[in-house]
Amino acid sequence: SSIMIGSDLERIADHAKSIARLVIGRLGEPPLTPGGDLIELGTAAQRMLDRALESLAGLDPIAARELGPADDEVDALYARVKKRIASQLVASPANAARIADLLFVAHNLERIADRSTNVAERTIYIASGELVELNP
């Protein structure tokens, strides 16, 4: 389980790097407004990662289980962001590449949340020996 947690953390870092590359690649261009829902998605994903790491550090299976409902919230936010970005693409085709980058950012944030859930599942296993799936 520890090796799998290491792998999940590495993938989380890869997703963060992908977001950074998208942002750096657009420096110097007029910024697009990301929308409050995308910012909320980023905050929720960061909060999930923090909680997963805290539950791992404390080997706290109760705290780790809280990531299941949090992941459902992130999935709902991601669906809302995708819908809004699709509308933006239709409304502003001249900015399609930049708008699509927002979709890639949202996708990476959702994957960070999913990987955080994996860390929580493995924390539960390490702490209690119970196999659970928080993100069915």
**Which of these, 136, 82, 86, 133, lies nearest to 109 by C-alpha position?**
82
Of all residues in the chain, the percent with pLDDT exceeding 70 is 100
pLDDT in tens, 78-132: 999 999 999 999 999 999 999 999 999 999 999 999 999 999 999 999 999 999 9
**Which of these, 135, 2, 5, 3, lies nearest to 70 by C-alpha position?**
135
Reply yes or no on whether the pLDDT at 46 is more than 90: yes
Name every residue whose Cβ is closer than 8 Å to that of residue 108 and which is 6 or more positions away in sequence. Answer: 15, 16, 18, 19
State whether the Cα torsion 59-63-66-70 is positive or negative.
negative
E strand or H helix at 107: helix 96-128
> What is the secondary structure of 40-52 as a DSSP string?
HHHHHHHHHHHHH
Reply yes or no on whether the pLDDT at 1 is more than 90: no
Rounded Cα distance between 4 and 118, Å, is: 9
Reply yes or no on whether the pLDDT at 77 is more than 90: yes
Reply yes or no on whether the pLDDT at 14 is more than 90: yes
**Which of these, 22, 25, 21, 15, lies nearest to 45 by C-alpha position?**
15
The pLDDT of residue 35 is 86
Average the pLDDT over 31-38 and give the result.
85
**pTM over 0.85, yes/no:** yes
Q: Which CATH architecture does the domain made up of 2-128 adopt? A: Up-down Bundle (1.20)
Work out the end-to-end distance of the chain between its first and last CA atoms, rounded to an integer number of angstroms: 19
Domain locations along the chain: 2-128
Average pLDDT, the chain: 95
